Structure 1
Amino acid sequence: MTSRRLIIGISGASGAAYGLAALEMARSAGVETHLVVSRSAMLTLHQELGLNKAGLEGRADVIHPVADVGATIASGSFRTMGMLVAPCSVKTMSEISTGITSSLMSRSADVVLKERRRLVLMVRETPLHLGHLETMVRLTQMGAIIMPPVPAFYTKPASVDDIVSHSIARALDLFDIDTGAIKRWGGLKESVRDTLLAQ
């Protein structure tokens, strides 16, 4: 049975809060977390959340330097549930799709794909040109899951934190990690449905 370890990557796209929420929610669900943060992501973490490298200490079970291509998560023999990149920049997505492993971020993702484990990329870019879309198709064909963090409004979120938490909880669902944080859709109430269908 695969160990309950999850690699979480934070790349340089806007939305660093997604990565931090993933760390917190996975750990609360009893999952061992292995974090890798790109250089660009450190800038985004500081810009968006006021965090520096020291501010990441204690948020993951293990923090791997992005330049350490000899880390445990760079090998397929180190068993994990897979990898979540939240957020995922177009640069990181493109490196993964071409098999370029110039950093631990792309190397870890490549390992996850070659071992047929789950790779979920929360791509944060809009609008998308044809090159972006073709890259997403290629990654999907390779076995990755492209999951842009699209808000669900049926949950009636009251804050940005609610939106972030729901998106991350749905992403962790893809690894069979139930965080208990999702207001799951139960269908329309019968009275509401009958009223709508009668119109």
Structure 2
Amino acid sequence: MKKYIIAITGASGSIYAVKLIEELLKNGYSIHLVVSDNGAKVLEYETGIKLLNFIEDMKEKYGNITLEDVDNLFSSVASGSFKTDGMIILPCSMSSLGEIAHGVSKNLIGRAADVCIKEKRPLVIVPRETPLSSIHLKNMLILSESGVTILPAMPGFYHKPENLEDVINFVVGKILDTLSIENNLFKKWGN
């Protein structure tokens, strides 16, 4: 069974993570979820979803989800010997992005990302900030040059979204496409 690490930081856009987690779980993938303290606060503020209730709901429906302690650097996902199929940081704050770009592992999110980079495993970072400063762009360039996929939460509109769910599905579908995971969340160009 393929397994992914998903991290939620304190940036806006945690609804994307909710949709990604549901999609991966319902398709039989295993998830190790790492959520920063601010990530949990933003999730509840923006969506009304309490993290622990969401985890329990996902466990009941699908199983295969483990909530990791963001401060536990002894977690299995902190080690390169623990094989995963990649990591998605969604949404990724500019603070977390900057730390990862410069090899700072203050918590399990940074350490797991560092492991993916050093082990050459897929790492998809979905930054959610606008406008971007030169510092943000330089940090993204550092990560891109290290093999990280930078996938900003920038929905397209060629598929003619009719509601907010269509916009969310577009971004999550792009993330899944990047990981070579088949999905029908949005109409692909030319289809």
What amino acid is the match of 1:74? A
What amino acid is the match of 2:30? E
User: How many residues are aligned here?
Assistant: 185
Q: Which residue pairs with 1:111 in the alignment?
A: 115
Q: Which residue pairs with 2:152 in the alignment?
A: 148
Q: 1:88-134: CA deviations, max 9, x gaps?
A: 10011011011111100111000000100111111000101111111
Identity of aligned residues (%): 36
Secondary structure of residue in 1 paired with 2:72 = coil
| Structure 2: distance between partners of 1:125 and 1:111 | 25
After the TM superposition, which segments of 4 or more aligned residues of structure 1 sit over 6 Å from their partners?
none
- Equivalent residue runs for 1:127-142 within 5 Å: 127-142=131-146
Q: Please give the TM-score of this superposition, normalised by the length of structure 1.
A: 0.89
Q: Which runs of 5 or more structure 1 residues have no equivalent in the other structure?
A: 188-199
- Equivalent residue runs for 1:19-168 within 5 Å: 19-58=17-56, 59=58, 61-168=65-172
- Conserved 8 A contact 1:29-1:177: no
Q: Which residue pairs with 1:18 in the alignment?
A: 16
| Structure 2: distance between partners of 1:183 and 1:26 | 19
Q: 1:142-189: CA deviations, max 9, x gaps?
A: 1111110111111111111111111111111111111222311116xx
Secondary structure of residue in 1 paired with 2:7 = strand
Q: Which residue pairs with 1:178 in the alignment?
A: 182
What amino acid is the match of 1:116? K
| Structure 1: distance between partners of 2:54 and 2:115 | 24
What amino acid is the match of 1:63? L
- Conserved 8 A contact 1:81-1:117: yes
Q: Please give the TM-score of this superposition, normalised by the length of structure 2.
A: 0.92
Secondary structure of residue in 2 paired with 1:57 = helix
- Conserved 8 A contact 1:89-1:123: yes
Secondary structure of residue in 2 paired with 1:100 = coil
- Conserved 8 A contact 1:112-1:119: yes
Q: Which residue pairs with 1:5 in the alignment?
A: 3
Secondary structure of residue in 1 paired with 2:10 = coil
